Amino acid sequence: MSGATVSVIVAIVGVGGTLASAVITQVLAQRAESRRSDREEWVRIAEQRASEDQRKIDQLRSCYVQLNAHDRYYRDAMLAYAYALKSGSADAEAAELSNARRAQRDTRAEAQLVASDAVLELESRVNAHLTTAYRDLMEVAGESDPSARQVRLNQVIDLLDSIIPQQGHVRARMRLDVRATQELPDWYNPEIGLTTHHQTSHR
């Protein structure tokens, strides 16, 4: 093989090597760019999901704050009305009760769209007792016998007091839903949502 031929072969190999090196470099660069793009897309999707999740938690927290406040407001307004009836005139308390009942009804309507099933189930029991107490109060207001009126008012007050621990269960479940706590308290009863726990901190 002549020296010229060898030179040509060497030149061809050198050019081929250079071209192959360029191709390999380009492929590696494309793979690196693809991995970088994939990582950026994964981060973007993760951030988007986290943002959406936080938005839902914030919406739920706002709903729960209102529901908890208005359930308590409704109960307190009925209690004030009951004590006012025991004393005599209750016109001012009746107006306040009407406002509380309307606010609680509107808040429950919103909660039924966003609250968890667990919270709705527990809160519906609270609402059932509140509804019973309201019906009884309206009947007592028309009671003409003073003695019977006092007895029935005491029964309504007892019913309203019994709602306090139930509301504590609702709040415990709400706190879990909005991630304010990682677990339910020891006194929580997941089966019936009732408890004999009567600590004043639940008021």
Is residue 12 one of the residues assigned to a domain?
no
Is residue 17 one of the residues assigned to a domain?
no
SS3 content of the chain, % helix, strand, coil (to 5): 85, 0, 15
Is residue 187 one of the residues assigned to a domain?
yes
Is residue 14 one of the residues assigned to a domain?
no
Looking at residue 126, what is its pLDDT?
Answer: 94
Is residue 54 one of the residues assigned to a domain?
no
Looking at residue 1, what is its pLDDT?
Answer: 59
Is residue 89 one of the residues assigned to a domain?
yes
**What domain range includes position 78?**
59-202
Looking at residue 28, what is its pLDDT?
Answer: 81
Q: Output the DSSP codes for 87-147.
A: HS--HHHHHHHHHHHHHHHHHHHHHHHHS-HHHHHHHHHHHHHHHHHHHHHHHHHT---HH
Q: How big is the chain by its Cα radius of gyration, in Å?
A: 35
For 52-61, the pLDDT digits (tens) are 888 889 999 9
Report the alpha-carbon distance of residue 9 to residue 28 in Å, rounded: 28
Is residue 48 one of the residues assigned to a domain?
no
Looking at residue 22, what is its pLDDT?
Answer: 75
Helix (H, G, I), strand (E, B) or coil at 195: coil
Q: Which residues of the chain have a pLDDT value below 50?
A: 193-203
For 148-174, the pLDDT digits (tens) are 989 999 999 999 999 999 999 999 999
Is residue 26 one of the residues assigned to a domain?
no
Q: How many helices and strands in the chain, by DSSP H and E?
A: 4, 0
Domain count, the chain: 1
